[in-house]
Each structure stands twice: as C-alpha cells, then as structure tokens.
Chains A and B, each alone.
Chain A
C-alpha cells in the first residue's frame, strides 16, 4: 500500500464575485519532492498559494496532509499544519536581529522577559541547517537580500515546516545567491521537506523541479514529469500556443551617439567610475550581479541620486546638476525597477498615470490642465501598447504586472524621449506580456530611440541587446557585442576579478 502523499489538494475551487480564480484544481506533493507551479499572471497561482497558506479560504475542494483533511482557516492554522509560504517580498523586521526574527511571536521567555541567549543558541542551529554563516545577533538590514531569504527559510524550519512554498524566490537574488538557494532547496528535499516552487524563470524550474504543474486560467493545464520538462513544453502549456520566437529581433539602423557618460562616480561606489556610450537606435544591456551598481547607475543618469563627479552628455550637450526634472527635459526616461513604489501611482487611474509626465506640457492659459487632450492621448497609448483594461479610469493597482509596466512605458512614450532607461523591464511579468514588451523595445529602437536596460535574466540580455556591458562592483568589467554573447562569457565577466 502506498503511503498517502504529504499534501494533496483535490478539486479546489475559488470564486471571487464575477470571476472564477480557481476551478477544480488538484495537486499532490510527496515529501522530498519539488513541485514547480507555473503559469502566466492571473492563471491562479497566487490564489492557490494563498489558500494553502491560509490567507484565503476555498469555496470547495479538499486539502489533506498525510491523508488527513485539514481546514486552513487562517495563516496560523496553515503554519500549525506545517505549511509555510516564503513571500516574494520578504516578511522580516529588518530593524531586529536574525534570532529575534526567527522567534518573532514565539520568543522563549521567563516571567515576561525574553531569553535572548536561548534565542541565539537555538537560532544558530537553524542557520546552520540552511547553511547561513552569520551570527544570530546580526541585524537583518545589514544582510544581503539573499541572506535575508535564508533567514526566512530558517524561520520556516524553526516552526517544523513540512511544506515550504517559494513564491518567486530568486526575483531579487543575484546568480550566485540563486545558486546557493538552489543547493539549499536540494538539501531540504533530501531532508524530506515537500517544496512548492513558483517561478517565472523557466531555467530555474528546469534546474530544480521533479514535476511541473501548469495552471492556465484557473485550471490544471497539464503536468510534466521530470523528463518532460523542457522550455518549449512549459511555454506552450502556459500560453496554450507555441511561441516561436520570444524576441522578435528586427534589424534597426544605428545612428549617432546620443548618450555619453564619462568617468561618472555614483554615491554607492565612490571608488569606481563608469564611462559608456549609447547610440540612437541601439539597445544596450547592462548585466551583472545584484548589488554591482547597475540600478544606481541608471538612477544617477536620471538624476535621482546626484553624481559625485563625471560628466553626462546628451546629444552632445553637457548636463549640469542633473535632476529628474532636467533629465526629462533633455529627453531621458526611466522605467524603474520598483514598479509599485517608483513607477506608478497605484491608487490613480491609468489616465492619470499615463498623463502624469506629459501634463506639464498639456496645459492651457499657463496653469490649467488640459484633461481632454490627456484623455485622447491616453486612449491612443492604450491602443498602441495593447493595455488590457475596461477603461482608462481603471486604477493602476488592479492591472496585471505586464499591463502596469505598459502604463509606465506609456507615461514616457507620451513624451517621445530620445533615451529610454529600463531597469528590470520584465520583472514579475508573464511570458505573453514579456514578449509584447520585447517587441515594443525593438520597435522603439527601430524608431531610433537609444535604449539602455538592466536585467538579471541573462536570457533576456542575450535575446534583446545589441551590445552588453557587464558591471562588477561599481565598474564596467567588460563589453560584448552580439556576436560574442554566451552565458559563460557574461557570467565570467560579472564574477571574476
């Protein structure tokens, strides 16, 4: 007789008023197994995970652990049942130390006083288990994102989690941090922990998963066993069609140099300087590890943080005292990494987001806003970018990641910038929308816009860029032309000194 699976989910259905988020979804997870759950945004992955973590409850269906039906009415019940969700955005109090975070809410205490020594002692054991070599007394904010994630996993182990759910765990990790996460997941698998792994990055899925569950429109779209997991199979199950070519590369003529950066020194890497040039119609990718100064470079170019020294020339004209206001005036545009904090006003409508940067130009009698022009222009932008929305009055926060990114792009395209800076342009965006954004970038380059983008996905850099600059610890460690792109050469430049 087979032992019952560690976790089994049967015929789960969840309906929100007006929409069926999950319909008859089933899955089984054995202990010591990594099950990857993939699907486009809106396919129901996050609803499924929220139900398993007790954040939402299902309308119908059963959840069983070790063959016993369980009711996961709230997050506490889920943790008690041994299910812990590791969020995409980490849930740590970064002003506290590692031990305090691991035992947050469950502090061993005596007469109301916290027994710090016991916390530190016991934390050390969990830290060892996740292979994290830091003191339990270190303040969380002093750790890198990768190490913070390890702390979160240690915290999960401290409550005897049998099932760990990872939601896009590598989205803010560098390549080497991701690799150590994968090794840890391998370890946990050997220790008999059941792991559900959600990711947009199919390479990781291929690397880790024993099985892949594909969701599409809230339903089981298919399951792939260990040997069936290929990039193309996954993509075709996810989108329901074959994607011949994700990056529809077209030839775009390359014009004169529009952006010239000479010995620019940023505040995060005061010892290093960066020089680069981007020409009209050229797509330049910046690769490198997280923390190598790529985001800071873009932010300094855009005037968000002041440069310590160095010069920036736009179309031959030297820029002084760069601020976002002057940057926009000179034809720069930045699509920031943190869409919700920096890119969008999430509580505002599409119209106001798309019209935000252009509004200063759309005025009459000097001070009054020209709302009707804003409305027509937004309508044009929605059509041009294919933003899927019932109305331009829709609030940005209710859009999917891909459509949100299109809104951010629309805000800038309304101004027809000369130089477009993109920071992780497809982070957290599903395959279909990714493809549209790649096409758009190609189009813009063909219209002789200069494009400088940062990406942590090598596949994206290699698919999109004409030229790659590889950054390492605040400087440009190397440059590759399209003909010389290989994953190995880029990684080597990013890591070896």
Chain B
C-alpha cells in the first residue's frame, strides 16, 4: 500500500485530533457539550459546511481553486427566496383601466359578474385600498370589451392608464353573514380558498384587518380561529389567495440549474480560454455577491411562509429517542442524512470511477495525463460544475436552516471554510491528492473547534485566530510527516536494486 499509506496516516492524524477534542470537551464541559441540542447542532453545522467542502475538494484535487463558493451560497439562497416568494392576490380581481374621482366612475375590463348593490374592494397598492359600492353599470362606448361602473365611496385622484397598464384592481367584497367566537360564516362558499390563505376584513369607514385562514368548513364557508372578535354584520370580507411564484421542487431545481450553469461557465473559461481558476472564481465571488444584493434590494430574505414544508427539512430531525425522565430527546438532523448521502456518492465518484482516477492523475501532472490521450479539459471542467452545484445545494440548505438571509453578509468566507476543511482533510493545493473522508473529518474538526470556542467561553473575537492556528498546525505536522515518510520510502526503495 505504498501509495495510499500517507493518505491514510493523514486522515488518521486528524481523526485522532478530532476525537481528542471531543474527549476533552466531554470532560471539561460535559453538561453543555454532550447536551442533545449541542450535538444535533454540531451535526447540522458539519453537514452544511461539509457539502461545500466536498464540492471544493474535487476542484482542489484537480489543482484548481474555487473562491466563488461563499457568494454562490448567498446567490442560491437569495434566488430560492425570490423563486419561492409568496404574493397575495385578492380573489376574482378585475383590472381598472382608469377612474374619475369626481364623477365616481371606474372603467374596468368587462366583467359581467358585478351587480348594482355589490361591494367592491378597490386596491391600488398595499396602502391605497377602499371599499366601494356599485351604483350602476353600463358598457363603455369608447372601447369595446370594457364597462363603466358608477360607484359610491371614497375615490381621491383621477388617474388614467398611461401605457396600457391597468392602474388598479377591484375585487368583490362579500358580506359577513354571521360571526361566532371562533368562526366567520360568509353568504357563499369559497371553493378556491385554502388554509393559510388570508381574509381581509374591510369596513366602509374603519381600517382593514387581515386574518389567516386556519381551517375550512367542508361546505366552503370559512372558519378562522380567533378572527371574529369585534366583527359585526357591517363588515365585508375579501378572500386573499397565496400565490407562490414557483412550486418548491421547481424552485429547487431552478436554483440548482443556475448554480450548475455558473459552474459550467467557470469551467468553460478555465479550460477553453485557459484563464487562471483563481482569477475566474474571484470575479465570480464579486459578481454573485453584487447580483444577490441587487436581486433582493439588499433586503433580508426569509422563508416564513414555508415553515411547515421546507423549514421541516432544515430544522427537522429523525428522533432516535424521546425525552424521558432525566434523558433529553435526541435525533439526527435531516440535513445530516443529505450530507451522508453526498459523502457516499462523492467517495464512489472519486475512488471507484474512471473519472475519479483520471482526476487524481490530472491534478498531479496535467501534461503527462494529456500525453496519455486523456481529455483533461473535460475532467477539470466537471470539477467546477460539481463544486458550483454543491455550493448551490449547500446555499439552499443554509438558507432554509437560517431562515434569514442578509444578502450583504450571508455566506461570507464560506469558500475559505470549505478550502480550509479540504486542506485539513488532506487535499493538497498542488493537486492530485485528497480524500472525501478527510474532508468530512476536516469539516467536523473545524465545527468542533467553533463549538469549543463557544462552550469554553473563549472570546469569540479569537475564533479565526484559533481555527487558523489549528490549520497551520495541521499543515506543518503533515509536511513533517510527509518528509519522514519520503525518507523512509526512499531508503526502502534504495534497498531494492533498480
């Protein structure tokens, strides 16, 4: 096992360090380190950072580098937030093309559903809403396919569509027929309404109030918890539908697709144009950060709407045992399973496939590999696609986990964490060497260090100092080990004549 020996020793060394750290923490801070939620947290963080580490490991083995990971994490998170953003739209809306406040007329798209005496909810934007009553209807003589509504109510300004765009929307308001403590019953049912949609209660003179639909009566009349307090018969209600821009699977696939495409572009520039990986991905780092901020107007992105669906993947866990007397409940976070699966796939890819073998060769000596008739560009290209894809996946996992993404800071330095974990785990920046298992252990070691800093109440200003020192220590001992091994091997090979 001449070839794999140093690699094994390397992993063995840092595994030993990791176990040592665990033992020390268990002895010095048993109540906090061994607490269920601390261990779960450690697993979750290892999983999230580990996904990025595995991705960059492939690039590093090819003797390249990817600095864009942190920004790509942020971009993916922001894209996911943007794809999954929920818009609220009143049911049965009709476009208003212009209105005259003096004459109290609205020109609308032809809608035969309105009758004299109906109440309509006039909605210009979220702040400008009023309740109107329809006094009369007639077809618009100037433009076919439009109607003129004569209304009573509070219209303030004249406005006309400038460029064919509707200026506002109206939708029908339903009168509330009866109110109990826990339920509101409408005169007709709303078959297209779902739980977690909203209902806006409007009064001709008083302010609006929105309530979330909790349950629906099978007949279609809406039931709300705690919605009815203070509502009497003079109220009207407008059902408001949740309208996600994309379904969850489509959003995830889209984000992944975008990340993979960016990786493809990195690979294209690096292999076809022969640009340096450092430069290409450094530009990526800046471009994706800026894009993220622009896309979100630099506003924090969250997933409050998805706490029951996506949020479960982020915070959920597979409970091994429930809380009992003196025993805390413990479970394995779902993200950890995703990470395990990826680890397994990456190990197979690197160690058992032809591509993985060729990757090691390319990383060690790209010329000799090319001279062996192997398409080196294709191999290098794929590493950047894998890395960006995993950064995209990791970005989504981070996003769901943290549920609050500040586009200017989210993912900062993540590329360096990932690179550090890969290096700690035995990937050489010179290329051609590295193991996935090492990256996993390296990530776990970094997260344990971070955990230790918190538990041991070391000032967290020193966080980077300590992690940096440990990595340096790891690299130095690795180099010394390497020299000893080389001396040992050369003496052994000298012993065998030629």
Contact = CB atoms under 8 A, between A and B. Distances in A.
**A and B from one assembly?**
yes
Interface of A: 16-19, 21, 41-42, 302, 304, 323-325, 327-329, 334, 336, 341-349, 352, 356-357, 359-360, 362-363, 367-369, 388-391, 393-395, 398-400, 402-403, 411
Interface in B480-498: 489-498
Interface in B356-374: 356-358, 360-361, 364-365, 367-374
A41 B498 CA distance: 8
Nearest to B495: A18
Given A328-B373, A356-B361, A357-B374, 15 more contacts: A16-B495, A18-B492, A41-B498, A334-B371, A336-B371, A342-B367, A342-B368, A344-B368, A347-B432, A348-B361, A359-B357, A369-B356, A393-B3, A398-B489, A398-B493
A325 B357 contact: no
B364 A18 contact: no
Given A18-B494, A19-B495, A368-B354, A348 B364 contact: yes
Contacts of B261: none
The contact size tier of chain B is 20 to 34
A362 B354 CA distance: 8
B286 to A, nearest CB: 31
B353 interface: yes
A444 to B, nearest CB: 18
A343 B353 contact: no
Contacts of B360: 348
Contacts of A304: 370-371
Given A16-B491, A18-B491, A398-B490, A357 B372 contact: yes
Contacts of B356: 369
Contacts of A342: 367-368, 371
Contacts of A398: 489-490, 493
Interface string B62-99: 00000000000000000000000000000000000000
9 contacts: A41-B498, A334-B371, A342-B371, A344-B368, A347-B432, A357-B373, A368-B352, A369-B352, A393-B1
B367 A341 contact: yes
A368 B355 CA distance: 8
Contact of B368 (A341, A363, A391, A394): A341
B2 interface: yes
Contacts of B498: 41-42, 388, 399-400, 402-403
Q: Which 9 A-B pairs have the closest CB atoms?
A: A328-B373, A18-B495, A398-B493, A17-B491, A19-B494, A400-B498, A342-B371, A357-B372, A324-B373
A395 B492 CA distance: 12
Contacts of A352: 3, 357, 361
Nearest to B493: A398
Contacts of A390: 496
B354 A395 contact: no
Interface string B28-71: 00000000000000000000000000000000000000000000
Interface in B370-419: 370-375
Contacts of B361: 345, 348, 352, 356
Given A304-B371, A325-B375, A360-B354, A388 B491 contact: no
B282 to A, nearest CB: 26
A394 B364 contact: no
A34 to B, nearest CB: 29
A362 B358 CA distance: 13
Contacts of A347: 364, 432
Contacts of B490: 16, 398
Contacts, number: 115
Contact of B353 (A18, A42, A329, A368): A368
A352 B358 CA distance: 10
Which one of A323, A367, A391 has the highest number of Cβ atoms from chain B below 10 Å of its Cβ?
A367
Interface string B1-35: 11100000000000000000000000000000000
A326 to B, nearest CB: 9
A192 to B, nearest CB: 37
A401 to B, nearest CB: 10
Interface string B150-167: 000000000000000000
A432 to B, nearest CB: 9
B365 A345 contact: yes
A171 to B, nearest CB: 20
Nearest to A328: B373
B365 A394 contact: no
A389 B354 contact: no
Contact of B493 (A21, A324, A346, A394): A394
A21 B490 CA distance: 12
A431 to B, nearest CB: 13
Given A344-B368, A393-B2, A356 B374 contact: yes
Given A345-B365, A399-B498, A324 B3 contact: no
Contact of B365 (A328, A341, A363): A341
A352 B375 CA distance: 17
Interface string B211-231: 000000000000000000000
Given A18-B492, A369-B353, A398-B493, A391 B2 contact: yes
Contacts of A19: 491, 494-495, 497
Nearest to A356: B372
Nearest to A333: B373
A303 B493 CA distance: 36
Contacts of B353: 367-369
A275 B68 CA distance: 49
B365 to A, nearest CB: 5
Given A352-B361, A389-B496, A325 B371 contact: no
Contact of B495 (A17, A329, A362, A363): A17
Contacts of B369: 345, 356
Contacts of A344: 365, 368
B50 to A, nearest CB: 24
Contacts of B497: 19, 42, 388
Which one of B353, B356, B432 has the highest number of Cβ atoms from chain A below 10 Å of its Cβ?
B353
A14 to B, nearest CB: 11
A359 B2 contact: no
A22 to B, nearest CB: 12
Contacts of B493: 394-395, 398
B438 to A, nearest CB: 17
A236 B391 CA distance: 65
A341 to B, nearest CB: 6
B3 A395 contact: yes
Contact of B357 (A21, A327, A369): A369
A348 B497 CA distance: 19
Contacts of B495: 16-19
A16 B494 contact: yes
Nearest to A342: B371
B439 to A, nearest CB: 20
Nearest to A303: B373
A347 B367 CA distance: 14
A170 B367 CA distance: 25
Given A16-B494, A18-B494, A399-B498, A363 B3 contact: no
